[in-house]
Structure 1
Amino acid sequence: MRVCVLGAGVVGLTSAYYLAKKGFDVTVMDRQEGVALETSFANAGQISPGYSAPWAAPGIPFKAVKWLMQKHAPLKISADPELKKIAWMSKMLANCTEKAYDTNKSRMVAIAEYSRDQFIAMRKEIGIQYDDGQGGLTQLFRKDEQVEASEKDIKVLKALGVPHQVLTPAQILEIEPGLTPVIDKFKGGLRLTGDETGDCFIFCQELKKHCDALGVTFKFGLSIDRLVTESGKIRAVKTDQGDFEFDNVLVSMGSYSKELLQTMDIAVPIYPVKGYSLTVPITDTTYAPTSTVMDETYKVAVTRLGGRIRAAGTAELSGYNLDLPKVRTETITHVVRDLFNQGCDLSQADYWTGLRPMTPDGTPVVGRSGIDGLYLNTGHGTLGWTMSCGSAAVIADIMAGDQTDIDTKDFAIQRYS
């Protein structure tokens, strides 16, 4: 059966891999000239099932107002009255209840934990390497109220059986000794011992080689115009290089999935949330992170990737704008300087920006679209790297008509009906 995967980021690429393993004749299409050249290029580097949580949470509306007044704020909202942005924000605010938060977090952790298991299995099966590490993630709390607020997350972690440790400042140093010069800034922490790290771009380059060996065809540098149906079933993908016929099509185009699906009268509530990262060489390992630390005050993750530090964060609601202004990179620079200034040379930092495809409830959209032969694997927000292998394995099972390893009904687009 001929399957076309639209999108060659980490979600599309892992989907192609699992589909090819099931015997599908797979073609991957992307407008770029290679894999992982957009949102998957320089993300935070953290594979964080334990940290998976929706942005829509109780208290977020009040916090958002305060953040807009701060210099180093985790959230920025452009002033333009864009209707799509306003509509998405209203849906997100509707999810800022205790009940919705618990439901959405449970869904997200379930697929993220499953995804982490798929990463482990893939490393064993094909020996893929990507500056990966299994050192966990440590949340850093600068304020007593952050320690108190973490209790609701700990409750969910316990209910789902996710391994974790509540840390004192002294215990933080046992895990991340590079924080020794600044440990007095923190009240405590929470360690998620099952979380991992890795370079998503390197992973994608290596996984493409395995896809090539499985017979996957890649078509780069083409623009997807629209999808063609016949008698209510997908028939072809129309591009600027001609029409290509397929039996099934999987949409994994990240933030751009929404625009394509609108042409099919499929409304998926995805909004492009812009994020920034920097990558800097480590100059002194004594004062560098050993794995990932998440500064909860600024919502910035700082990760060790081999001989480099990757820091990523901020959420900017400004449409499909990909400008990289210095004022927007100041927060991630500030956090790296504040935590690991003695371990790196920030004058050598490379900066990057990308668009994270966010749904208002934080959960990705994985499953059938409602149109025969058209499937979805998109809307992973900031957790595309974390959830990639899990959602790919799930959609491959669905498309093959096989039993999935986890319950998938809560990931379908029909939850928005």
Structure 2
Amino acid sequence: MKIVILGGGVIGVTSAWYLAEAGHEVVVVDRQTGVAQETSFANAGEISPGYASPWAAPGIPAKALRWLFMQHAPLILRPKVDMAMLRWLVAMLGNCNATDYRINKGRMVRLAEHSRDRLIALRAQTGISYDERSQGTLQLFREQKQMDGIAKDIEVLRADNVPFEVLDRAGCLAAEPGLAASEASILGGLRLPNDETGDCFKFTNALAEMAKARGVQFLMGRTIRGLATEGGRIAHVDTAEGPVKGDAYLVAMGSYSPLVVAPLGLRLPVYPVKGYSITVPIVQEQGAPVSTLLDESYKVAITRLGDRIRVGGMAELSGYTNDLPQARRDTLDHSVGTLFPGAGDLSRATFWSGLRPMTPDSTPVVGATKIDNLFLNTGHGTLGWTMACGSGHVIADIMSGRAPAIETADLALSRYRN
């Protein structure tokens, strides 16, 4: 079967790899001149299945109101006349209850754990290298109320048999010795020793090269105008450079996915939630992080990537914008500067923003649609890198007519009908 994939980010490329491995002819179409040029380019770098948690959680509405008025706010709302934003916000708030939180987190962890296993297998199979480390993730708490609030997460971790450690200040410094130079308040942390880190951009480019060797065709620099239909099925991808035809089609365009499928009568509840990152060259090896640290106060991830520190986070609702306000960089500088002072040269840091494709329940949309030759693999939010291999493996099974290794019925678009 010839399969056309719309989107050349980490989700599209991992999907292409596993579909080619399943024996299909695969074509990837993207508007950029290379893969991983948008949201996959400079994300936070952590691969954290155990921290696969919904944004929609009990208490979030009250926290969100406080965050909006913080100097270094993890949440930024730039209101505009946008019905898609309003619908998304209402749906997200509707998931802010204990019952939905447990359901959403459970299925997110299920997919993320499968993804980690597939990444380990892929690494063993191919020897792919991407500044990877397997030294765990530490969620760091500066306030006692943050420590007191981890019970619901621990409950899910235990239910899913995810190893974890609850640490005091001394335990945090043992896991991340660079914190010894910090004067910030460090009360404790939650550490997941099985989590990993790595450069998503390097990974995606390396995997794309291996996919090409398997026969995957990459049509880059192609502006996608839409999907043409005939007889109730997708007939071809309409691009500015001409049609691209296949037997089946996979939309993996991140935040732009709903714009492509809307003319087909599909309402895909994915909205862009903007994130920011800086990439900082390390100048003091002993003071730098050894893996990933999640600064709970500012919702910022600090990750070691080779000789660089990647600092990423924040959630901004502002539509499809890619501007770089200085205030957002100040938050990233503040987080890493207070926890790992002097470890990196902030004056030489590069500043970036990307549009995370977020669903109201934080779970990606992976599976079939009501159009029998159209499939989706999108809506991964902040966890595209964490869930990429699992999502690609699952969608390859679904499109090949095979039973996936994990339950997938609650990942499809059809879950929103109720």
Given the two structures, how large is their TM-score scaled by the length of structure 2?
0.99
Name the residue aligned to 1:43: 43
**Deviation by residue 1:295-328 (Cα, 9 ceiling, x = unmatched):** 0000000000011000000000000011112122
Distance 1:176 1:232 in 2: 56
Letter in 1 for 2:402: D
Secondary structure, counterpart of 1:44 in structure 2? coil
Counterpart residue number, 2:300: 300
Name the counterpart of 2:74.
74
Q: Does the CA-based 8 Å contact 1:294-1:302 persist in structure 2?
A: yes
Q: CA deviation at 1:107?
A: 0.6
Match of 2:189 in 1: 189
Note the alpha carbon deviations across 1:13-60, whole angstroms, 9 max, x for none: 000000000110000000000000000000000001011001000000
Q: In the alignment, residue 222 of structure 1 is paired with which amino acid?
A: R
Moved more, 257-266 or 184-193: 184-193
Counterpart of 1:256 in structure 2: which amino acid? Y
Name segments (4+ residues, structure 1) moved above 6 Å: none
8 Å Cα contact 2:72/2:331 also seen in 1: yes
Please list the CA deviations of residues 383-412 of structure 1 after superposition, one character each: whole Å capped at 9, or x if unmatched: 000000000000000000011000000100
Tell me if structure 1 keeps the 8 A contact 2:142–2:184.
no
Supply the distance in 1 between the matched residues of 2:228 and 2:67 (Cα, whole angstroms).
44
Q: Could you tell me whether the CA contact under 8 Å between 2:183 and 2:338 is conserved in 1?
A: no
Secondary structure (helix, strand or coil) at the match of 2:49 reads: coil
Task: Quote the Cα distance in structure 1 between the aligned partners of 2:184 and 2:43.
Answer: 29
Equivalent residues of 1:137, 1:193 under 8 A apart: yes
Query: Does structure 2 conserve the Cα–Cα contact (< 8 Å) formed by 1:173 and 1:183?
Result: no
Give 3-state SS (helix, strand or coil) of 2:244's partner.
strand
| Superposition map of 1:302-381 within 5 A | 302-381=302-381
1:223 aligns with 2:223: yes
Conserved 8 A contact 2:54-2:363: yes
8 Å Cα contact 1:223/1:240 also seen in 2: yes
AA of the residue aligned to 1:153: D
Partner of 1:406: 406
Deviates more, 1:83-92 or 1:385-394: 83-92
Q: CA deviation at 1:235?
A: 1.6
**Structure 2: distance between partners of 1:58 and 1:150:** 12
Q: Percent identity?
A: 54
Match of 1:234 in 2: 234
Deviations 1:325-350 (A, max 9, x none): 21222111110111112211100100
Separation in structure 2 between the aligned mates of residue 279 and residue 263 of structure 1, nearest angstrom: 38
SS at match of 1:342: coil
State how far apart, in whole Å, the 2-side matches of 1:348 and 1:77 are.
Answer: 29
- Counterpart of 1:106, as a letter, is G
In the alignment, which residue of structure 1 is the partner of 2:387?
A: 387
1:42–1:277: 8 Å Cα contact kept in structure 2?
yes
Q: Is the 8 A contact 2:2 2:24 kept in 1?
A: yes
Asked whether the equivalents of residues 280 and 350 of structure 2 are also in contact (C-alpha less than 8 Å), the reply is: yes
- CA shift at 1:81, angstroms? 3.4
Q: C-alpha displacement at 1:183, in angstroms?
A: 6.3
Alignment of 1:15-414 (within 5 A): 15-182=15-182, 185-414=185-414
CA distance in 2, matches of 1:307, 1:244: 41
Contact 1:49 1:195 in 2 (8 A): yes
User: In the alignment, residue 299 of structure 1 is paired with which amino acid?
Assistant: K
Is the contact between residue 169 and residue 183 of structure 1 (CA under 8 Å) also seen in structure 2?
Answer: no
Secondary structure of the corresponding residue to residue 185 of structure 1:
coil
Q: Report the Cα distance in structure 2 between the residues aligned to 1:158 and 1:172, rounded to whole angstroms.
A: 21
1:49 counterpart letter in structure 2: P
Structure 2: distance between partners of 1:2 and 1:301: 39
Residues 73-125 of structure 1: CA distance to partner in whole angstroms, max 9, x if unpaired?
A: 10000032322111110000000000000100001000000000011000000
- The whole-number CA distance in structure 1 between the counterparts of 2:297 and 2:277 is 17
What is the rounded CA distance, in whole Å, between the counterparts of 1:197 and 1:181 in structure 2?
A: 23
Alignment partner of 1:4 is 2:22: no
Separation in structure 1 between the aligned mates of residue 268 and residue 400 of structure 2, nearest angstrom: 23
CA distance in 2, matches of 1:247, 1:234: 8
Matches of 2:209 and 2:65 in 1, distance apart?
Answer: 47
Shift of residue 182, structure 1, vs aligned partner: 2.0
Using the size of structure 1 for normalisation, the TM-score is 0.99
User: How far did residue 186 of structure 1 move?
Assistant: 1.1
Cα distance between partner residues in 1 of 2:68 and 2:413: 32
Structure 2 stretches lacking a partner, 5+ long: none
Deviations 1:113-153 (A, max 9, x none): 00000110000000000000001100000111100101110
Is 2:44–2:301's contact at 8 Å kept on the other side of the alignment? yes
